[in-house]
Chain A
Amino acid sequence: MSVGTPSVLHDPFAEPPAGATEQAYGRSPAQLFWRRFRRDRVALAALAVIVALVLVALLAPLLLKLLGLPGPNVRDAKALDDFGAPVGPSSAHPFGVDDFGRDVFARTVYGARVSLFVGLVGTAIAALLGTLLGLLAGWSRGWVDALLVGLVDVMLAFPVLLLGLGIASACTLGGGCAGGLIEPGLRTVLLVVAAIGWTVIARVVRGQVLSLREREFVDAARVGGASELRIVTREVLPNLVPTVIVYSSLMIPQTILFEAALSFLGVGVSPSTPSWGSMLADAAPNFDTQWWYMLFPGLALLVTVMAFNLLGDGVQDALDPISRQ
């Protein structure tokens, strides 16, 4: 096997690093980010898919009405055959129906709502929590830092799915937890996602803060008479933004898969809310005869997670052009 010629290996040096040719002065970091991001055709395509998915999720009722399909929980007895078994894809039901005669297309479309909501909002909560705790630990050091690092170590040693199942089933069985603040269903799923997801972000943010606090611009701000709070919010926090954005965007697909796994195992959103994970759980016992009920939610999940993975890669490349080399 010949393993590549030197000219192939030197490929990245043949092109100038991103930003070298463009006028880098007088542009905000956001503008620079966008200039690099929009050159990445794959990431743009992923973004377009995500925008389309968000629109489908938001306009689900309208979309179904336009296509003349029933709602996600409408049971159509006529769609079952003489033995009460569901019928596969037809003109009336493009993705077929499930055991109760509910339209699989409608349920798949509505399932996007749960996945996108938990993926975006859950990740945002986890990122916010992780940033706050990481900032607190890295800035105060001492025992606060030791405590947080220890807690992160413990959380990372914990089997993630069992922890999620434990919290979720406790909150579901008892009709809610934390004094009724966390109801079963969506709120419980968000709680689980946040309780598990903050660790990664907190760890990275802490490391960054530990190095940022030694930098000269922090000394300069202190000499200039800035208060601790001002230094943290005005000097340190803005420097954390790129890191937090990169890690959050890479976390979204993981969060979506995690929610689907919880729903698949029966502790996600409530059964009446269609979600891709719970649809797959419903499909699992009869997947050999009702292939359509297994295929479409899984494909929807695959496409969504792929789009977010590609977007995350693109965001990472655009915010951190050096690591591309």
Chain B
Amino acid sequence: MIGYIARRLLQAVVVLVAVCALTFVLFFLLPSGDPAVLRAGRRATPETIAAIRAQLHLDDPVWVQFWAYLKGVFLHFDLGYSYYSSESVSSLLRSRLPATLSLTLGAVVLWLAIALPIGIVSALRRRTWVDRLLMGGALVAISAPVYWVGLVALYLFSDDIGLVPLLPGANRYVALSDDPGAWFGALLLPWLVLAGAFAGVYARMLRTSLIETMHQDFIRTARAKGISERRVVLRHGVRVAITPVVTLLGVDIGVLLGGAVLVETVFNVPGIGTLGYDSIRYADFPVIQGTVLLAALFVVVANLVVDVVYAYLDPRVRVSG
């Protein structure tokens, strides 16, 4: 088991270094905005620009810059400084993380609360009108662009412009530590919008998986033992059928912690997603690099956790994986 975890950890580090390298290649080989020009401001002399280039080490060969960056990240946890605001990238990320964390975790709770009952009911009442109605809803949820749903939701429900002002403070993010009530009010709409999209996917997935599971022999055995149908479904069926859902959940949480760009943009949530988006628009390379690395870290860790949990549950994985 320890050997397996060590192997997976090593793989994770390799993936992270490769992500760093890919970001470097992407933003050095492709012509994006010149950070020195952007930093120098509008009426900069060529000398100023040259000085800034030297200061940012932009004239060093790519591999020298890359090596210096890797050393900074892995030895000193130093992600560099923003070209644009001169703030340190790690403090920028730290200031944005709470918003993304709040958005993600709230949405996860919500979408599981919506998707699990729908998936179970749909699977058990397969091909009835209840199933059709629920799966139709799930289809709409996975097909609607999330930023559009966000705009429509704001149009309908936000307290300043909405037709039916139900949800106070949407569009104005407040930190949890400042005012928990306002924090909840501001995030309720983004949570619902983000959760809707995922709930559709999860409900469909659990339905398929549960239908498959309910035809297995052990379900017949459980029924033959005379256990109540409710117990057969929840204790035997769902317990097995939920496996693929858990895998996907791990990956999705990892991806979302790296920033939900679209939802954060629509609802003005100052999270990792908007930070990454702005950094690309400003060609703020250290911030792009830091955001991408953090997002990749979350994905890699989420995968690692899922794999280790599986290895713990199923000994076969340890040997072959």
Contact = CB atoms under 8 A, between A and B. Distances in A.
B259 A159 contact: yes
Contact of A294 (B22, B148, B161, B292): B148
A150 B12 CA distance: 11
Contacts of A157: 15-16, 19, 295-296, 299-300
A207 to B, nearest CB: 14
B31 A2 contact: no
Interface stretch (A87-95, A130-138, A297-305): A297-305
B32 A302 contact: no
B61 to A, nearest CB: 20
A158 B151 contact: no
Which of the four size classes fits the interface of chain A? 35 or more
B280 interface: yes
The DSSP consensus for interface residues of chain B is helix
Given A4-B233, A309-B139, A171 B30 contact: yes
B18 interface: yes
A260 interface: yes
Interface stretch (B85-93, B123-131, B239-247): B123-131
Interface stretch (A47-55, A61-69, A236-244, A280-288): A280-288
B33 interface: yes
B126 A298 contact: no
Interface stretch (A8-16, A72-80, A209-217): A8-16
Contacts of A30: none
B280 A169 contact: yes
A283 B151 contact: yes
B27 interface: yes
Contact of A170 (B14, B26, B230, B299): B26
A291 B153 CA distance: 12
A159 B255 contact: yes
A161 interface: yes
Interface string B44-68: 0000000000000000000000000
B174 interface: no
A11 B291 contact: no
Contacts of A166: 23, 26-27, 30, 32, 280, 288
A4 B23 CA distance: 52
Given A162-B261, A280-B147, A280-B148, A154 B30 contact: no
A142 interface: no
B145 A298 contact: yes
Interface stretch (B103-111, B176-184, B210-218): B210-218
B155 interface: yes
Interface string B115-150: 000001000111110000000000110111101100
B238 to A, nearest CB: 10
A184 to B, nearest CB: 11
Contacts of B114: none
A257 interface: yes
Contacts of A158: 19, 22, 292, 295-296
B223 interface: yes
A21 B172 CA distance: 61
B270 interface: no
A325 B216 CA distance: 11
Contact of A287 (B32, B143, B151): B151
Contacts of B124: 3-4, 8-9
A265 interface: yes
A165 interface: yes
A161 B259 CA distance: 10
A170 B261 contact: no
B4 interface: no
B196 interface: no
B277 interface: yes
A44 interface: no
A12 B292 CA distance: 46
A288 B162 CA distance: 8
Contact of A325 (B215, B229, B299): B215
Given A156-B299, A157-B19, A301-B148, A310 B30 contact: no
Contacts of B296: 157-159
A110 interface: no
Given A169-B281, A295-B152, A306-B139, 7 more contacts: A4-B125, A4-B229, A153-B11, A167-B26, A261-B147, A287-B155, A302-B143
8 contacts: A3-B229, A3-B230, A157-B15, A169-B281, A291-B155, A301-B145, A305-B145, A310-B139
